[in-house]
Amino acid sequence: MNGELELFDVTIIGGGSAGLFAAYYTGMREMKTKIIENQSELGGTVSVFYPEKYIYDVGGIAKISGNKLIEQLKEQALMFDPTIIFNQKVERLEQLNDGTYILTTNTGEKHHTKTVIIAVGPGAFSINRLKLNNQFIDPGKHIHYESVDPKNFAGKNVLIYGGINTAVSMANSLSNSAENVYLMHKHDKFKALESDLEQLKHADVEMLTPYTMTGLDGNRDSLVGVHARNIKTKKDLNIPVDDLIICQGYSFDVSPVTDWGFTLENRRIPVNENMETHMKGVFVAGDIAGYPQKWRLLASAFNEAVTAANHAKYHVDPAAAKQVYSTILFDE
């Protein structure tokens, strides 16, 4: 059967920031590269969590939005025409007697590869939905979950529900364009960056704390208002709104990684200085990589991706140089 499968030098599990940069480097090293992405598009958590937010921790770029960064990472990764598989979730990772690997996905499709780079971020993620009267509230025309474009709410009455940094950041973004912005949280304090909280103090945002939502006037496609109750005073409040944005974060599932034969430490796969796991030829980059003094930064993920890619190349071809430099490769 394996003879019928196309053999790749490296298969990257995950098409987020680390996976895309790894694909660029493996392509640059002339490795036959495949990316397997669980979602229907590339971009990973940056596309979901920070599409409009600015990112500041990429060297040489003062600031860049999440969407723009992913656009540039895609352009970079696709320079060497990697094979990309969408909507498949790797369920099994099996090493063969010759040292190569077979990856089996949820569709039953198998992928044959000499090396693997795991770049699945913090794990498979699902949004934390709001529950009212024992029913989950679904997104719709006027009910939204987190990742939205602030430009769509100009001139509207908008209520943001949640206490995480995304909620605070969204309130700040909308304060200059929406007609009225309400920020509701069940606690008095928000879990947000100090700079965002300081900005919130001066923003045109009406704070509703500590309030919990008790009901809606209208439905997901035709919203009129929101019912709320003060947790301390039990006072009820009706707020006329055009749109509701729910920011309750995400849940992450790393159980598929354990099914591949890894024992996690602090929800990460332990690796050595080469970003290699206990399985020879299997490397890790990004949030899921675990080692002492780990920094969860994009800058760190890019460095891990380069390390993993170079050592994957060396694993496939021990005669190859352990490092190459793109400035030399593309010098004309």
First to last CA, the chain: 44
pLDDT at 71 over 70: yes
Residue numbers belonging to the annotated binding site? 37, 50, 90, 125, 287, 327
Residue 90's DSSP bridge partners are: 105
Q: How far apart are CA 328 and CA 332, in angstroms?
A: 9
Q: What is the pTM of this model?
A: 0.72
pLDDT in tens, 179-212: 999 999 999 999 988 989 999 999 999 999 999 9
pLDDT at 39: 86
Q: What is the mean pLDDT of the chain?
A: 90
Distance CA 186, CA 165 (A): 14
In this model, does residue 62 exceed pLDDT 70? yes
Measured between alpha carbons, how far is residue 118 from residues 25, 52, 56 in Å?
A: 15, 26, 25
Q: What's the topology of domain 129-248?
A: FAD/NAD(P)-binding domain (3.50.50)
Q: Give the whole-angstrom CA distance, residue 327 versus residue 332.
A: 10
Sign of the C-alpha dihedral, residues 81, 7, 2, 276? negative
Tell me how far apart the alpha carbons of residues 52 and 245 are, in angstroms, rounded to a whole number: 15
| Mean predicted confidence (pLDDT) in 221-234 | 94
- Examine the pLDDT at 331 and tell me if it is beyond 70: no
Query: What whole-number percentage of the chain has pLDDT above 70?
Result: 96
- The answer on pLDDT for 250 being more than 70 is yes
DSSP 8-state secondary structure symbol assigned to residue 294: -
Peptide bond into 51 cis (omega under 30): no
Mean pLDDT of 88-108: 96
Going by pLDDT thresholds of 50, 70 and 90, the confidence category of residue 247 is very high
Amino acid code (one letter) for 28: M
State yes or no: pLDDT of 261 exceeds 60: yes
**pLDDT for residue 52 is more than 80:** no
How much is the average pLDDT of 116-126?
84
Give binding residues for FAD as ranges: 37, 50, 90, 125, 287, 327
Q: Which of 15, 65, 73, 74 is nearest to 45 (CA)?
A: 15
- Using pLDDT thresholds of 50, 70 and 90, give the confidence band for residue 332: very low
Where do the structural domains in the chain lie, given as residue ranges? 2-125+251-329, 129-248
Same fold, 2-125+251-329 and 129-248: yes
Q: Is the pLDDT of residue 329 over 70?
A: no
Cβ proximity of 168 and 190 under 8 Å: yes
pLDDT of the residue at 322: 74
Residue located via tokens 């499968």: 5
* C-alpha distances in Å from residue 3, one per residue of 7, 9, 296: 9, 15, 40
Is the pLDDT confidence value at 324 over 80?
no
- 258 vs 311, which has greater pLDDT? 311
Eight-class DSSP state of 89 = -
Pairwise CA distance, residues 288 & 120, whole Å: 7
Q: Are 22 and 119 in contact (CB under 8 A)?
A: yes
3-state secondary structure of 169: helix
The CA angle 71-35-250, to the nearest 5 degrees, is 65
The three-class DSSP label of residue 165 is helix
CB distance 27 to 4 below 8 Å: no
Lowest mean pLDDT among 33-47, 170-184, 199-213, 303-317: 33-47
Identity of the highest mean pLDDT range in 62-71, 116-125, 146-155, 203-212: 203-212
**pLDDT, mean of residues 278-304:** 93
- Going by the DSSP 8-state scheme, the letter that residue 40 receives in this structure is S
Tokens for 98, please give them.
């010759």
Lowest mean pLDDT among 16-25, 74-83, 123-132: 123-132
Cα–Cα separations (whole angstroms), residue 212 to 14, 188, 205, 233, 248: 37, 12, 17, 12, 13
Residue ranges in the chain assigned as alpha helix (H): 17-28, 44-49, 66-77, 165-174, 194-202, 255-259, 298-316, 326-329
Query: Does the pLDDT value for residue 1 go beyond 70?
Result: no
More confident residue, 202 or 52: 202
* pLDDT mean over 90-98: 95
What CATH number matches the domain at 2-125+251-329, 1.10.287.470, 3.40.50.2000, 3.40.50.300, 3.50.50.60?
Answer: 3.50.50.60
